[in-house]
Amino acid sequence: MTKRTAISSSDRLVKVPTGIAGFDEITGGGLPAGRPTLICGSAGCGKSLMATEFLVRGASQYGEPGVLMTFEETAADIRKNVSSLGFNIADMVAQKQLVLDHVFINRNEIEENGDYDLEGIFIRLAHAIDTIGAKRVVLDTIESLFSGLNNQAILRAELRRLFGWLKERKITAIITAERGEGSLTRHGLEEYVSDCVVLLDHRVIGQVSTRRLRVVKYRGSTHGANEYPFLIDTNGMSVLPLSSAAMDYKVSNLRISTGVPELDVMLGGKGFYRGSTVMLSGTSGTGKSSVAACLAHATCGRGERCMYFSFEESQAQILRNMRSIGMDLAPHVERNLLQFHASRPTVHGLEMHLVKLHRLIDEFKPSVVILDPVTNLSTAGNVNDSNSMLIRLIDFLRKKGVTAFFISLTSGGRAAEATDEGMSSIVDTWLLLSDIESGGERNRAMYVLKSRGMPHSNQVREFLITSRGVRLVPTYLGPTGVLTGSARLIQEAKDLAVETSVHDELRRKELVLDHRRQAVEAQIQALRAGFEAEQQEFSRVVATERSKNTRNQADRRATAKSRRVGSNGNGMAH
C-alpha cells in the first residue's frame, strides 16, 4: 500500500499496512514502520485480536513474519482464537511465518533478590526474531509483568530499554496495554511508546454495545481523529471510516424499473434513477414489502444483484409471502442474485449495523439495496442516531452508485409526511402508501410524494395486491372523496351504464333525424313534380296562343286579298 520509495523514506514516515479493513484507510497506510505502537483499551475490547490480526495478516499477506509474545494467553489459546478468524496458526508456525512465545510468571515460585534485568525477555525476543527474520512483533500484554514482578523501577527502566531496542532493530511492534483510570494505560506505558497510540473502546448504550477505535496519537502523520466504530466477526476486525462521507459522488441518468409497470408510468414512464435513494412510507399492512419485493424481482430479472436487509421478517417468510402474490424469489436466491440478511435491529448498535452493511455491500456488490424497515433501527438507538446512521449509509450507497430502497413504517394516526422529517430531505424519490377506509372497506392507495429530476404523476392510485403481483389502478374522485375498492367497482359499473344509455339516446335521435330527412326529401320531390306540371301547362298555353295569333294574321291577309281593297277598305266587299 503506502510503501514509499527508498529516497523519500529517509524524510518521510514509512507505514506498514496492517491488513485490517478500514484501519489502513484512517491512518493513511497503517502503522509506523519500525516503531512500536501502543494499543490500549479496557478488558475485552479487542486489543489482542487486533494485534494478532496485524501479525497474522502481515505474515500471510505482506510477507512479514512476526513474533507474538503473550503474557496472558497460552499458545494454545492463541491458536484457538486465531483459527476462528480462518487462519491456521499451526501451519504458519510450521512454515516459519510466525513464532509464538508465552511468557509465564508464577508469582508463587518467584522471589526477588537484588539487582536484575529483563534480559531474559530480550534474549527470547531476539532469538524468535532471528529464527524467522521477523519484521513484526506483538507484546500482549506486557503490563502483566507489573503484577508478576515487584521492582517497578527495574521494570520501567527495562521496558524503556525494550522499546528502544525494538526501534533500533527496526521492528514494527504492537504493545497492548490495559486502560487505566484517568490515563491511557494502567502503568503509564504511553510515556515510553509514543509514536502511535490507538485507543479501543467498548461502550454499552441502551443495552447495546458498540466497539470504537480512535487514533489518539500518530507522530509525524495525519490521521483520522474521530472515533470509528469497528466490528469483530469471522473475517477479523474491520474499522469503518465514516469521514469519507463526502458529497462528491457521480450521478447517473440511467433509470431502472420499479418492478411495477404502472409505478414506472407514474415516475415519468421509466422508473427510479440508478443510484438514487428511494423511500417508501406507509402504515403497517399497506404492502410496502411487496413493492420492495417487486423491485428485487425486477432487478434480479435483469441479472443484477439485489441485497435485502430485513429487520422484521426472515428470508423464508418473505419468500413464502411473495410467492402468495405470484412472485417467486427463490430462483434469484439460488442464482446468488438476491441475498437476504435478516436480523433484529437490537442485535448490534447502530454503528455496528452500519459496519456490517458496509461490509456485506462491499462483498456482494449489489446494484439495489433494500432496507425493510429503516424505522426499526431506531430501536437500537434513538431516532437522531438512526437518522444520522442512515444518512451516512445513503452517502455510502450513492458513492457506490447503488440504488437504495428504504421502507419506512409510519404508525397509524400520525401524518405520514411528518414522521420522516429527518429523512425526507435526503431521499430522491418518496413514495407513500396509505390506507383509505370507507364504505366498510380498507383499501390501499399510493402516490409519489416527490421524485427529484423527473416528471412524475400527481395522481393517487389505488394499490392492489393480487395473486398475480401488485397493480396500480386509477382511483375515482367522487363527491364524497376518493373511491376505492368496491366503491370504485360500483362507480365503474355506473359509469358504464350511463355511457351505454347516452349511446342509445344518440342512436335514437339519429334515426329520428333520418326519418325527418327522408320526409323532407319526399316533400321536395312532390313540390318539384307539381311545379314541373305547371310549367308544362304554361308552355302548352303559350304555344297555343302563338299558333292562334299566326292563324289570325293569315286569315286577315286572305280576306284583304279577296276584297282587292286597300287595307283601309276592310270588309266593304262582303
Partner 1 sequence: MKTKSATGPKSPSLQNSAPAATPGRTAAEIKSDEWILRLYVAGQTPKSLAAFANLKRICEEHLAGRYRIEVIDLSQTPHLAQHDQIVALPTLVRKLPEPIKRILGDLSNLQRVLVGMELRPLTAR
Q: Does 126 bind partner 1 (CB under 8 A)?
A: yes
**Of the listed pieces 106-114, 240-248, 339-347, 371-379, which binds partner 1 according to CB under 8 A?**
106-114
CB of 148 to partner 1, least distance (A): 8
Q: Collapse the DSSP code of 249 into the 3-class scheme (helix H, G, I; strand E, B; otherwise coil) and give the result.
A: coil
Residue recorded with cell 494478532: 52
CB 574 within 8 A of CB 563: yes
How many residues touch partner 1 under the rule CB under 8 A: the total is 25
Residue 521-550 contact track with partner 1, rule CB under 8 A, x = bound: ------------------------------
Planar angle of CA 53, 58, 61, nearest 5 degrees: 105
How far is 518 from 498, CA to CA, in rounded Å?
Answer: 31
CB of 190 to partner 1, least distance (A): 23
Q: Does 77 bind partner 1 (CB under 8 A)?
A: no
Cell numbers representing residue 354 in the block: 452500519
Question: Which C-beta is closer to partner 1: that of 123 or that of 573?
Answer: 123
Count the Cβ atoms, other than its own, within 10 Å of residue 347: 12
**Window 149 to 208, contacts with partner 1 (CB under 8 A):** 149
Strand partners, 464: 471
**Of the listed pieces 97-105, 197-205, 478-486, 536-544, which binds partner 1 according to CB under 8 A?**
97-105
> Out of 89, 121, 260, 263, which residue is the one contacting partner 1 (CB under 8 A)?
121
- Phi, psi (rounded to 5 degrees) for 424: -60, -35
Question: Which C-beta is closer to partner 1: that of 118 or that of 432?
Answer: 118
> Out of 1, 123, 225, 473, which residue is the one contacting partner 1 (CB under 8 A)?
123
Q: Does 111 bind partner 1 (CB under 8 A)?
A: yes
Question: Which C-beta is closer to partner 1: that of 65 or that of 275?
Answer: 65
Q: Does 119 bind partner 1 (CB under 8 A)?
A: yes
How far is 422 from 391, CA to CA, in rounded Å?
Answer: 9
How far is 36 from 15, CA to CA, in rounded Å?
Answer: 12
> Out of 9, 74, 91, 117, which residue is the one contacting partner 1 (CB under 8 A)?
117
Q: Does 116 bind partner 1 (CB under 8 A)?
A: yes
Q: Does 74 bind partner 1 (CB under 8 A)?
A: no
Q: Does 93 bind partner 1 (CB under 8 A)?
A: no
> Out of 145, 237, 263, 329, which residue is the one contacting partner 1 (CB under 8 A)?
145
Planar angle of CA 215, 99, 157, nearest 5 degrees: 60
**Of the listed pieces 56-64, 125-133, 293-301, 535-543, which binds partner 1 according to CB under 8 A?**
125-133
> Out of 4, 93, 148, 262, which residue is the one contacting partner 1 (CB under 8 A)?
148
Q: Collapse the DSSP code of 138 into the 3-class scheme (helix H, G, I; strand E, B; otherwise coil) and give the result.
A: strand
Torsion over CA: 149, 152, 154, 156 (sign): positive
Cα 451 to chain centroid distance, Å, stands at 15
Count the Cβ atoms, other than its own, within 10 Å of residue 412: 11
Cell numbers representing residue 412 in the block: 397509524
Q: Does 133 bind partner 1 (CB under 8 A)?
A: no
CB of 121 to partner 1, least distance (A): 6
Give the H/E segment covering residue 391.
helix 383-400
Q: In terms of DSSP bridges, do strands 196-205 and 208-218 run parallel, antiparallel, or are they unpaired?
A: antiparallel
Task: Please choose, from the candidates 381, 370, 222, 389, the residue with its C-alpha nearest in 3D space to the C-alpha of residue 309.
Answer: 370
How far is 336 from 324, CA to CA, in rounded Å?
Answer: 22
CB of 24 to partner 1, least distance (A): 32
Q: Does 103 bind partner 1 (CB under 8 A)?
A: yes
Q: Does 137 bind partner 1 (CB under 8 A)?
A: no
Question: Which C-beta is closer to partner 1: that of 118 or that of 193?
Answer: 118
Question: Which C-beta is closer to partner 1: that of 5 or that of 108?
Answer: 108
How far is 2 from 455, CA to CA, in rounded Å?
Answer: 48
**Of the listed pieces 103-111, 202-210, 229-237, 276-284, which binds partner 1 according to CB under 8 A?**
103-111
- Phi, psi (rounded to 5 degrees) for 42: -75, 175
Q: Does 113 bind partner 1 (CB under 8 A)?
A: yes
Task: Please choose, from the candidates 201, 184, 206, 281, the residue with its C-alpha nearest in 3D space to the C-alpha of residue 239.
Answer: 201
> Out of 101, 227, 304, 417, which residue is the one contacting partner 1 (CB under 8 A)?
101
Distances in Å between the alpha carbon of 31 and those of 239, 418, 468, 481, 565? 14, 47, 58, 67, 164
Question: Which C-beta is closer to partner 1: that of 73 or that of 195?
Answer: 73
How far is 42 from 209, CA to CA, in rounded Å?
Answer: 14
Q: Does 132 bind partner 1 (CB under 8 A)?
A: no
Residue 455 per-residue DSSP state:
-
CB of 111 to partner 1, least distance (A): 4
**Of the listed pieces 96-104, 193-201, 260-268, 475-483, which binds partner 1 according to CB under 8 A?**
96-104
How far is 338 from 308, CA to CA, in rounded Å?
Answer: 7
Question: Which C-beta is closer to partner 1: that of 99 or that of 300?
Answer: 99
Question: Which C-beta is closer to partner 1: that of 131 or that of 570?
Answer: 131
> Out of 5, 10, 114, 440, which residue is the one contacting partner 1 (CB under 8 A)?
114
Q: Does 128 bind partner 1 (CB under 8 A)?
A: yes
Q: Does 76 bind partner 1 (CB under 8 A)?
A: no
- Phi, psi (rounded to 5 degrees) for 192: -95, -35
CB 144 within 8 A of CB 176: no
**Of the listed pieces 109-117, 270-278, 296-304, 381-389, which binds partner 1 according to CB under 8 A?**
109-117
Q: Which residues of 329-460 form beta strands (DSSP E)?
A: 338-342, 368-372, 403-409, 429-438, 441-451
How far is 539 from 221, CA to CA, in rounded Å?
Answer: 128
Q: Does 115 bind partner 1 (CB under 8 A)?
A: yes
Question: Which C-beta is closer to partner 1: that of 85 or that of 145?
Answer: 145
Question: Which C-beta is closer to partner 1: that of 176 or that of 210?
Answer: 176
Q: Collapse the DSSP code of 161 into the 3-class scheme (helix H, G, I; strand E, B; otherwise coil) and give the result.
A: helix
Strand partners, 277: 404
Q: Does 129 bind partner 1 (CB under 8 A)?
A: no
CB of 93 to partner 1, least distance (A): 13
Q: Collapse the DSSP code of 568 into the 3-class scheme (helix H, G, I; strand E, B; otherwise coil) and give the result.
A: coil
**Of the listed pieces 141-149, 428-436, 467-475, 504-512, which binds partner 1 according to CB under 8 A?**
141-149
Per CB under 8 A, residues contacting partner 1 are 101, 103-105, 109-121, 123-124, 126-128, 145, 148-149
